[in-house]
Structure 1
Amino acid sequence: MPKKRSTKKKKSTQIPYPKNQPPLNTLQALERAMQYHQAGDLQSAQALYHQVLQAEPNQSEAIHLLGVIAAQVGDNQTALDLIQKAIQINDSIPNFHNSLGNVLWSQGKFTEAANCYQRSLALNPHFTEAHNGLGNVLKEQGKWIDAADSYQRALCSNPNYAEAYYNLGNVRREQGLLPEAIICYQRALALEPNHFEAYYNWAIALMKQGKPAEAVLQFKNALALAPHDIEVHNHLGIALLEQGKPAEAVDRFQRAIALNPDNAEAHYNLGTAYDKRGKLTEAIASYQKALTINPNDAPTHYNLGIALHQQGHKTESIAHYQKAIALNPEHVEAHNNLGIILSEQGKLTEAIACYERALALNPNYAQVYNHLAGVLLNQGEIDQAITHYRRALALKPSFTTAHTGLLLALHYVEGLEPTTLFSEHQRFNEQHAKPLTPSSPRHLNDKHPQRRIKLGYVSPDFRQHPVAHFIEPVLAHHNHTQFEIFCYDNHGKTDKITQRLQQSVEHWINCVTLTDEALASLIKQDQIDILIDLAGHTNDNRLLVFARKPAPVQVTYLGYPNTTGLTTIDYRITDQYRDPEGLADELSTETLIRMPETYYCYRPYDDTPPVNDLPAHQNDAITFGTLNNYVKLNPKMLTLWAEILQAVPGSKLLLKPSNQILNDPSARQAIEKQFMTVDIQPTQLILEEITPSPSHLKSYHQLDIALDTYPFNGGTTTCEALWMGVPVITLVGQTHTARMGISLLSTLGLTELIAHSPKDYVELAIKLANDRAYLQNLRESLRDRMQTSPLMDGPSYTHHLETAYRKMWEKWCDLS
């Protein structure tokens, strides 16, 4: 906080005590004592004041000044007693009342202090220090206008009084009048260049103006005058953090801690700086140290909760969020973040309660609406989720995360017109991407069409994630004589898959801490020729990097089942099944590039379980099922599945959603009730909670037939089912999301598993359920069929992809 200051002692040359001096009279002794006092020699001054009083016990000025010395050394009670005694002797001296006001002000007795200053001014209306003192009292009482008036009166009495300018600056800052405050600090410094607090509070005002670079200069000026001031080091560190210089900030906070190891604020700030640098272990240690000093600081518990969450320590994180809330029940962000963790744990009902508490505290908190929408989507409440995404965008139109969430959610709406969905993607481009797009992007890349091409892949999913199953065969089989590979990893954690992928490429850049602008600049610096987005409108995408057009050719591929809507992305990779010619071209801002054999090239887990015997042989009944996300299970699918179960006696339906919804008892009960509305009883359901990959594949040992979802087919789940020997029945629609099944099954020559109408879907499931010989034969042969198909032919697939890349590059070279 800005430092408070009322008066500032003027230094003068110290007068030595003369040798062989004749005895002083009382007046001379008093004058000599005052000279010592002004020079800062309090001990000599005090001795002479006492000599004066021995000669003249009621000398009011000597008594008064002894009181001032007592105040200077922190003995306020003695100061009060002495100054009040001086006033009793002579109450007509303005300075006595002013000094008494100063002591009372320092004790926080503002009303009594104000009375003293007013008495002083009644005796001398032009008493500068009394006007200043009264201003200090009024400022402490929050009476900004009256305080400013008092300081201005002080300046009318003495236009060269630096302290009044300084104090007036503090009032103007509190009033939000930052330019006026800065002018006051500058005037104070013009009169008194060594006014440390004026530099300090000038810097604070600049910070409030959002000018951290200018603030850094003034904090450094303050440090030149007071190099050991902890608060300045602290605030300088904060300014450096806001400048995006966390390494320099760490140094400042460490200096503050060296000056005072028990300064909790410095440890807290150091934790924040480490957090900004991605050094979570060090950040956690700093926050924990701050809490050993001040265990009841809600912001520290909150920040520690964030860091622990980022490290995956969810239980400990929850404890600190809860402590932050206990200390500050109105801590909106803590309620929000607690909801996020509970959602990740599958405790959806508790998460919703946290979000609702946050919204009760702040109904206009866009981020909470976004997170609440995500939970509702996981529960299958698609319409409610869309409503909340739109509410978040209404509150914060620039909220790209909510907008991408909305776009993904719209894919689950059964019956939504493809043109409507396309328009929503175009709206994203107009609102978020187009303002960032250069009117005439310049690329200085060498335009030789046959040279080695630099490819840049951008993704948050270079790890155990569905996307990794399909990008790994590509990275593993690139022709490195023709292509130089860069991977821009937008995720903070690595795993075994990440490490494996890193070995396949020349350049690996973790870009999670880079802003979109900084990442775009880095990509231009790397002279990437073709930049490939692998995320689309999914979590942690970097589409706004692509909006800046850092590479001459830009492509979207693999991670998202639709157009991005961005006019700066030139191509979208697909195949003839997912996006047939004449059906999809007009609904994509990108030019569609159709792979000749398959859109996907699949790499299963290394340690997948073996294919087992047909479960129906042992159960003497068919088990249908799906491992797709619950949000894909809309009322239409439930109705179709009910028809299938009713037509196949003794059959059951296994559900193992790939999120944690079944971890929540309330959500599980809601699911059972939802199925009962279509006459599927709980006894016909097998509900399994999510398990870690790849152990989740063991659930396929219970399945005879997998039922695909519609209008959002399975992708990775379909590949996994087929790999485990389980046939998948798919229902085909008009959009990419409703045609993923036809693409995969057609690639494997399993067109008999493709239904083109709901009626066909039901009849096909019943037909397969009654042909166990076919199911057994397919179960035994599916894995071999996949391994020998284009779906798992990494070298051929990558060659086709590289051919497409080369043609894109040649076209750009030709047109440039």
Structure 2
Amino acid sequence: MPPVTEADAGYRAGIAALAQGTPDAALPLLQAAERAGEGGGFAALNLGLALMQLGRLSQAEAALTRAAAALPDHPEPYFRLGTIAGVRGEAGRAEALFLAALDRAPHHVTALAALAALAEAAGHLAQAADLVARARAADPEEPELELAAARLALLRGEAEAAAAGAAAVLAQRPAHPAAAKLYAEALLARLDPTAALAVVAARAAEDPFAAGWALAAARLHAAAGQPAAALAEWQAAALLAPEQPEVLALLGLALDEAGRRAEAEPLLRAAITARPTDLDLRNRLATMLWRNGRSAAMLEVLDQAMVEFGPQPTLMMNRALALNAVGRQAEALESADAAVPAGGVLALVNRIAVLPYHPERGHALALRDCGRAIAAKLGPAAPAVHRPREAGRRLRVGLLSGGLGRHPVGWLTVAGLEALPAAEFSLHAFALKPREDMLAARFRACCAGWHEMQHRSDAEIAAAIAAERIDILIDLGGYGESGRLFVLQHRPAPVQIKWVGAQFSTTGLGCVDWMLTDRWETPAGFEHLYSERLLRLPDGYVCYAPPAYAPPVTLLPALAGQGAAKGVRFGCFNNLAKVTPAVLTAWARILAALPEATLELRTPVLSEASAREGLLARMATAGLPAERVTLLGGVPHQALLAAYGGIDIALDPFPYTGGLTVCEALWMGVPVVSLAGDSFAGRHALSHLSNIGLPDWVATTPEAYVAQAVARARDLPALAAVRAGLRARVAASPLVDAPRFGRGLAAALRRAWSECCAMG
């Protein structure tokens, strides 16, 4: 660096501010210095560093490019540009820039370390090890290099060496989250969680003020399925190292999982402020907002990240989910499609998750083709595990799900599973999310075995299932948020079945032998749309468990307490992902034909102002009058059910129709007008309405859907009669007849097992 002169006073002040850790103060000083020609190319270089620290990567890139032009022989501009490329996921460009830095300084330690990380990510472990060794020769005291070497040791299967390396890093940097994580992983490679926790406890006793041991213990408690103990360790780590952004982020995520959302979000946002170039933190915040139903806020986080980090696959995938959730289905699929070339199998899973909501492309053939693409990317499944195959013996049935509690999966399966004859079947839960509620208690009561699997890998979950000698494994998660469908690729059970839980289409996977269904979801002739064999139940494919706290059915609102009839109030309580432009257009036509009618939309995302504004804009495009539509956010479940007391007719969306929402509306006395499609998701309502004897409420074209809604609304006496008897009709139907459903499910499972036995 050239000597600083009196003429470089502004540049000097900017450097001082940067050295003091105040890049926001350094920024205007360095900008002015560069404009004045102070500091030569070093003003642009340090301006780039300040902008990077503030997370303004696009501006930093421009400044560093100017620095590289002004300082062609200096390695630092190239290294920093490579860092930005790496953060953006541009591995090839990052490698070229790091190599350019090494051309100018062959012993540039951080460039060597960065190249090692790229090699490790690409699976080139020998190359990574060579680069780490070169870097350590240049700087043998750097803990990050020791950690890199330890991580490579674990990847080579050298768990003891990895643990020793991670422990050495923690001895120098006691609150290093990555070192603590690696230490926990290395212990788990050799020990069970209980033994590993004992090792960490001994370490902590020697140095009780080192946050790293609390961090490692938190990881181990999480792996053991002990979320409360893990949270306590995250809290202890945050008290010991309150200045560590990553520790704050981990505590925030743990608080979120514990349902303490108000405490969680500020911690994650503070971590992002401290480390604005950490893309992973942005994605973690986005994921937390998603889980909490704040999709509009999630979209804002992702859009801001896109400006600085570019169209990285993880951002594009998360953005697809957020766009879909706020009702922008076409844009969601575009974002999902854009992630596919570089995003691998996870991008294809993301695509199939948003595809069924698309108003034109969400049909069964497209979903089948997407499932096949996932299967092709995964490759063949493992060979099926061997089990004694006596056709008539008692069977061990595994349930793989994150929804074994108050969740759509719970409401639609628990009663039927309870009704399975215990003499013929024993149930074993492999729970992917801890739940403590009344439905979770029912699941626990009917299961002979319970295994918390939340923090286990697919292979570990499969091994646990195989160890329990499961004969029939039922997946209840699919390609949904907490699904772990790829566990089935390991073939831990001889018979593997897909049932409720993101059951919107075929999975496309050869490892899924059967799809539990019914004659309405998949009538004869639909077989070519599924990779699974269709295991049709005698009635509907679900058994609804109405909540005991559901309020009584009210009188028809259009007639109740009125001297004369008033306008019908339509309602839709589905999420906005299902409310497509075609749906809004159909609703506009219905309201146009019924000048006194109104519409109520209720879903959690409508609590967010930007989501409401976006929906109002789409309504205006469709011709749906805003003054006749009420937009309401989420409420507790009992209040949601009570809200049906103000609805005369429910309007089901399409092409992804309602499932649990249809069951709830019917139980609350509100009939549902629906439009059947050809996908599994497009026929949920048809199944439920047919199962209670009301198939004539289902249309087959948008025109018939509109005509159906208008005709039903104009016949208030008939509508009142339907409402008065609807709960009794549902109560007497197979939809809620658990003993009947249990017999049908038992016969279906026995058939699947018998055919497996016959195949040898």
Same fold (TM over 0.5): yes
Partner in structure 2 of residue 649 of structure 1: 595
Q: Render the CA deviation track for 1:71-99: whole Å, top value 9, x for unaligned.
A: xxxxxxxxxxxxxxxxxxxxxxxxxxxxx
User: What does 1:648-797 correspond to in 2, within 5 Å?
Assistant: 648-657=594-603, 660-797=604-741
Aligned mates of 2:131, 2:593 — CA distance in 1? 81
Instruction: Give the Cα separation in 2 of the matches to 1:569 and 1:722.
Output: 32
Distance 1:500 1:290 in 2: 36
C-alpha distance in structure 1 between counterparts of 2:692 and 2:580, whole Å: 28
Is structure 2 residue 427 aligned with structure 1 residue 480?
Answer: no
* Matched ranges for 1:386-465 at <5 A: 386-399=333-346, 402-416=347-361, 417-432=363-378, 434-435=379-380, 437-438=381-382, 441-465=383-407
How far is 1:479 from its partner? 0.7
Deviation at 1:219, TM superposition (A): 6.6
Matched, 1:328 2:270: no
Residue 735 (structure 1) shift: 2.7
Counterparts of 1:190-205 in structure 2, within 5 Å, are 205=149
Q: 1:575 aligned to 2:575?
A: no
Q: Which amino acid aligns with 2:276?
A: P
Distance verdict in 2 for CA 1:806–1:701, change over 3 Å: same
The answer for the alignment partner of 2:250 in structure 1 is 303
Query: Cα offset for 1:694?
Result: 2.6
* SS of equivalent to 1:730: strand
Cα offset, 1:358, TM superposition: 2.6
Deviation at 1:576, TM superposition (A): 1.3
Match of 1:372 in 2: 319
The corresponding residue for 1:806 is 750
Conservation of the 8 A alpha-carbon contact between 1:382 and 1:631: yes
SS at match of 1:375: helix
> Aligned partners of 2:243 and 2:579: how far apart in 1?
46
Q: Which amino acid aligns with 1:663?
A: S
Aligned residues: 630
- CA deviations 1:352-386 (Å, max 9, x no partner) are 23212333343264322222211100111112212
SS at match of 1:422: helix
CA contact (8 A) 1:574 1:595 kept: yes
Q: Residue 455 and residue 211 in structure 1: after superposition, are their counterparts in 2 closer, same or farther (change >3 A)?
A: closer
Match of 2:11 in 1: none
Rounded Cα–Cα distance in structure 2 between residues aligned with 1:532 and 1:555: 5
User: Is the 1:346–1:664 contact (alpha carbons within 8 Å) kept by the matching residues of 2?
Assistant: no
Deviations 1:116-164 (A, max 9, x none): xxxxxxxxxxxxxxxxxxxxxxxxx99985799xxxxxxxxxxxxxxxx
- Report the AA paired with residue 576 of structure 1: R
Q: How does 1:266-345 map to 2 (within 5 A)?
A: 266-345=213-292
Aligned counterparts of 2:135 and 2:290: Cα–Cα separation in 1: 51
For residues 620-667 of structure 1, give each alpha carbon's deviation from its aligned partner in whole angstroms, at most 9, with x where no partner exists. 22101111111211122212211111111311001112xx22111122
Q: Cα distance 1:762–1:326, how it changes in 2: closer, same or farther (>3 A)?
A: closer
The amino acid of 1:422's aligned partner reads R
Is the 8 Å Cα contact of residues 199 and 218 (structure 1) preserved in structure 2? no
Q: Check 1:577–1:442 CA distance in 2 against 1; reply closer, same or farther (3 A cut).
A: closer
| CA separation of 1:736 and 1:270: change in aligned 2, threshold 3 A | closer
Rounded to whole Å, the distance in 2 between the matches of 1:405 and 1:672 is: 27
Preserved CA contact (<8 Å) 1:202 1:218: no
Supply the distance in 2 between the matched residues of 1:747 and 1:381 (Cα, whole angstroms).
32
Cα distance in 2, alignment partners of residues 672 and 221 from structure 1: 57
| Aligned-residue offset at 1:803 | 1.1
Give the whole-Å Cα distance in 2 for the aligned partners of 1:672 and 1:201.
Answer: 54
Matched residue of 1:390: which SS? helix
Matching residue of 1:530: 472
Post-superposition CA distance 1:605-632 (Å, at most 9, x none) = 1110100011001462210111111121
- Distance, in Å, in 1 between the alignment partners of 2:601 and 2:165 is 66
Say whether 1:622 aligns with 2:557: no
C-alpha distance in 2 between matches for 1:199 and 1:706: 62
| 1:182 and 1:202 in contact (8 A); partners too | no
Further displaced range: 584-593 or 276-285: 276-285
Deviations 1:272-298 (A, max 9, x none): 554554544444444444444543222
Alpha-carbon distance change, 353 to 177 in structure 1, aligned in 2, over 3 angstroms: closer
Give how far 1:197 is off: 8.9
Task: Report the secondary structure of 1:653's partner residue.
Answer: strand
1:537-563 deviation digits (Å, cap 9, x = unpaired):
212212111112221111112220221
Alpha-carbon distance in 1 for matches of 2:343, 2:664: 39
Cα distance in 1, alignment partners of residues 651 and 728 from structure 2 = 22
Conservation of the 8 A alpha-carbon contact between 1:301 and 1:324: yes
Q: CA deviation at 1:760?
A: 2.1
Shift of 1:243: 2.4
Could you list the per-position Cα deviations for residues 747-806 of structure 1 after superposition, in whole angstroms to 9, with x for gaps in the alignment?
A: 222233222322222222122112111111111101111111111211111111211211
Cα displacement string for residues 320-339 of structure 1 (whole angstroms, at most 9, x for unaligned residues): 12222232232322333233
Unaligned runs of 5+ in 2: 1-101, 110-125
The amino acid across from 2:510 in the alignment is: T
SS at match of 2:536: strand
Q: Which whole-Å CA distance do the structure 1 matches of 2:705 and 2:400 have between them?
A: 38
- For 2:458, the equivalent position in structure 1 comes to 516
CA distance in 2, matches of 1:390, 1:537: 16
Alpha-carbon distance in 2 for matches of 1:674, 1:180: 54
- Return the offset for 1:346: 4.9
Cα distance, 1:790–1:687 mapped onto 2, change above 3 Å: same
Query: Which deviates more, 773-782 or 285-294?
Result: 285-294
User: 1:758–1:587: structure 2 CA closer, same or farther, 3 Å change rule?
Assistant: same
**Which shifted more, 737-746 or 241-250?**
241-250
Question: Does structure 2 retain, via aligned residues, the 8 Å contact 1:220–1:236?
Answer: no
Deviations 1:445-478 (A, max 9, x none): 2221111122212111111111112211222111
Is 2:554 aligned against 1:612? yes
Root-mean-square deviation (CA, aligned residues, Å) is 3.4
Cα drift, residue 724 of structure 1: 0.8
1:601 aligns with: 543
Distance 1:250 1:144, change over 3 A: farther
Amino acid at match of 1:795: P
Query: Which protein is bigger by CA-based radius of gyration?
Result: 1
Q: Match for residue 310 of structure 2?
A: 363
TM-score by length of 1: 0.71
1:661, 1:180 → 2: CA distance?
Answer: 48
**2:327 and 2:316 mapped to 1: Cα distance?**
16
Moved more, 307-316 or 281-290: 281-290
AA aligned opposite 1:339: A
SS in 1 for 2:558: helix
> TM-score w.r.t. structure 2 length?
0.76
- 1:70-81 equivalent positions in 2, closer than 5 A: none
1:493 maps to what in 2?
A: 435
Q: Deviations over 1:408-462 (max 9, x none)?
A: 3111122335322211111111112x34x12xx2543222111112221211111
- The letter for the 2-side match of 1:406 is R
The percentage of aligned residue pairs carrying the same residue is 28
